[in-house]
Amino acid sequence: MTDEAQPHLCCSCESVALSELGLIGPEEVVARILFNPQHIKADGTVKSGLWSPTDIRKKGVSLVRPAHLSPEALRAQADALAANYHKPRTAEGVIECKAEKVRTIFDDQGERLLCLFDDPVTATAALPANPAHALAIAAREVSDADIPQIKTMLTLAFGPLRRFA
């Protein structure tokens, strides 16, 4: 599918599906898995450090496409990620938003700041495959001044924490 067929896409990485699940459409929900204590304060609220500048700039913010996972599979992915971390943590739940909200984060000049695309993960010895993995990453080089704006806009785009049952 080309950018012409999907006018909401501006990044070339968004115009070609990397998995059999296809492109992430504007109405599709994406979710960020949150871990305790990494992302959760002692009072149960979400930490502002949820969005790492390094992830935004270089690695990509790890997301999932929950419509393509059963609740049990999503929880299994989250638990596997928690168990494979260098510090003790537990999977707490997810925050969610529509893809178009991530794609409508712009700078003061009206340029889009983030690309959002599917990024399937193959199985490793420590982690199961995740064909529903996605990434949000800076669409261009972003300045130190852009990072707080991106973090604030991401926080506003994603809804409240939905805890795992």
Return d(Cα 117, Cα 18) in angstroms, integer.
8
Tens-place pLDDT, residues 13-29: 677 677 889 999 999 99
Q: What is the C-alpha to C-alpha distance for residues 61 and 126, in angstroms, rounded to an integer?
A: 20
Please give the pLDDT value at position 49: 85
pLDDT of 85 over the 80 cut? yes
Residue 5: what pLDDT? 40
**pLDDT reported for residue 108:** 87
Q: How open is the CA angle 94-80-91, to the nearest 5 degrees?
A: 35
Are the CB atoms for 15 and 2 separated by under 8 Å?
Answer: yes
Whole-prediction pTM value?
A: 0.89
- Give the span between the Cα atoms of 133 and 45, in whole angstroms: 25
Range 64-75 average pLDDT? 97
Tally Cβ neighbours within 10 Å of residue 155.
13
The string of pLDDT tens digits covering residues 92-123 is: 999 999 999 999 999 888 889 999 999 999 99
Task: Answer whether residue 2 shows pLDDT above 70.
Answer: no
Which of 5, 4, 27, 30 has the alpha carbon at shortest distance from 117? 30
